[in-house]
Amino acid sequence: MQELRQEEKAKLDRYLIDFDTDNLPCEFYDVVIIGSGIAGVYTALSTPRNAKVLIITKESIEINNSVLAQGGIAVSLDQNDSPSLHFKDTLYAGAGLCDETAVNALVTEAADNIATLCLYGVNFDRDDDKRLSLTREGAHSMNRIIHTGDATGKEVCDTLVSAVSGLDNVTIREQTFAIDILTEDGECKGVLTSNEDGTKLKAYFAPVVVCASGGYGRLYSKTTNPEVANGDGAAIAYRAGAELMDLEFVQFHPTVLFHPDNQNFLISEAVRGEGALLRNNKGELFMEQYHPMKELAPRDVVSRAIFQEMQKTGSNHVFLDITHKDKQYLEHRFPMIYKTCLSYGFDMSKDFIPVAPCQHYSMGGIKTDEWGRTTVRGFYAVGEAACNGIHGANRLASNSLLEGLVFGRRIGLQVKENLNQIKMREGFKPKISYKKQWKDTDIDVLSMISKLQSIMNLNVGIIRSKESLCTAMEAIDKMKNDVDGVKVVHTQFMELKNMLTLSSMVVKAGLLREESRGAHFRSDFPASDDKNWLKNIVFQGGFQNA
């Protein structure tokens, strides 16, 4: 296990701003959940109804990565399929770094959670016999992806948000920015928050805090992620003393629409699952040169293949070809994708779709066990914000929404089993404060964020090297020095500080992993050495005793 050096920890501020809980407005809950995607909302639905629960989200409740998920949810329902085959495929895609205990929980508890979604009213596509329709995506050996057209995430999220909004025990606070986890003697006590512009602070006290804030795709300039996904959750967890793991494993989706006016619209892997082929700019098929599973190889393989094919042919994109399917089928199976492509001048039934890889998912995050527990007592993480070892070095397609469901319910069970002990005593108010001498320096925050994203995109992408990673590290260190000790005056500055903290560790992990494995590919270490590298890189939380 690799730990951050003590002298580097000393440069970090425990909290981003000065505060004193004695002078702040406050509210009391049993559970506070940061994030309103599927993982966070399903966790709230899984907690007992006599628990007082708060969901906070820094934008509106509709803005999250879950809503953008097109493909579907993996679950072994076919008579020829089984959890053991799903387990095997997950481990294969994860390139030797999956935690088998967590993966076993994922695949064996999948069907029960899907049944729960159906009871909530999620309208999955069904065949003529009213059975759930199953399709295939990359690295799956069987058809096991259930879906709602090409907007599965939105259908599931809308249904769950509607359900949780009707619960008397759940409160939802929008436009609420989580600044830091409040801790006392290494134990979670709640969340310090601000309003949208950072002018009004508030403390939400709770013995259980669940981070479901999503990943860190917005560290990159080209990403399919919404603006909220900039790694705040991992950064605040780290300052609170939680461990972070597998940060170097950043997944690039192979097929994102390539158009001058739109380079972040995802063309679901399910399109390849339905038979779409990849062609280079000469119209030639090429995937058989890279992997026996061709278009349905693991995502990291397909992304690198496209990247290398683009370099060979001097092109900035390749093409996705599903012209062998008729218009009626495509409009029904992929209504959103078909409509969007058409709006940019591409008729999927007649035209090849220009595509290129783009940052999509974060395998790394806040380290948890198979019950969502972090190394800080009372603090949990779930969904893309968490790293429980399920995805290893490369996520298997459509395991992400499933992960949020399975481990959201598991956290709910933890709350249920311990509710008598954790039940918040109304009026019990920990006394927590922080004060530091800050510098008043003007910082062009938006310019620095843009610069950081470009640095990450250019140097910490699909193919990295020691040289590119060191270039990124030098630039990020300079930016960190520029903002070190500067007084935070608004939430965008908080986001910048979080992004710098996290991007620095992503790069450091990339430098430490001197091999190519899964989504982490180094041109100076093209071959993996399984004997030496079946291990994870973990960063110890900066302030374990705070």
Beta carbons of 517 and 393 less than 8 angstroms apart? yes
| Coil, strand or helix at 457 | helix
Classify residue 173 as left (phi > 0), alpha (psi -120 to 50) or beta.
beta
User: Any idea of the CA torsion for 75, 80, 85, 89, to the nearest 10 degrees?
Assistant: -70
Amino acid at the residue 538: V
Q: Please report, for residues 155, 255, 376, 415, 422, the alpha-carbon distance to residue 241 in angstroms, rounded to integers and kept in the order given.
A: 36, 37, 6, 21, 21
CA atoms within 13 A of residue 68's CA, in its CB half-sphere:
18
Catalytic residue among 299, 373, 409, 522: 299
304 is catalytic: no
191 CA to centre of own chain: 21
Please tell me the distance from the alpha carbon of residue 533 to that of residue 170, in angstroms, as a whole number. 44
Q: Please report, for residues 72, 217, 287, 386, 445, the alpha-carbon distance to residue 462 in angstroms, rounded to integers and kept in the order given.
A: 24, 13, 17, 22, 27
Q: Report DSSP letters for 275-300, one per residue.
A: T-EEE-TTS-B-GGGT-TTGGGS-HH
CA-based nearest residue to 136, from 67, 95, 86:
86
| Coil, strand or helix at 450 | helix
Amino acid at the residue 350: K
CA-based nearest residue to 44, from 178, 128, 170, 148:
170
Q: Please report, for residues 78, 191, 381, 491, the alpha-carbon distance to residue 236 in angstroms, rounded to integers and kept in the order given.
A: 42, 10, 12, 13
Please tell me the distance from the alpha carbon of residue 482 to that of residue 439, in angstroms, as a whole number. 11
Amino acid at the residue 473: M
Please tell me the distance from the alpha carbon of residue 512 to that of residue 523, in angstroms, as a whole number. 14
Tokens of 363: 């395998």
404: phi then psi, degrees, rounded to nearest 5: -60, -35
Please tell me the distance from the alpha carbon of residue 38 to that of residue 359, in angstroms, as a whole number. 20
For tokens 């399709």, the residue is 135
Rounded (5°) CA angle 354-358-363: 145
405 CA to centre of own chain: 14
Q: Which residues does the annotation mark as catalytic?
A: 299
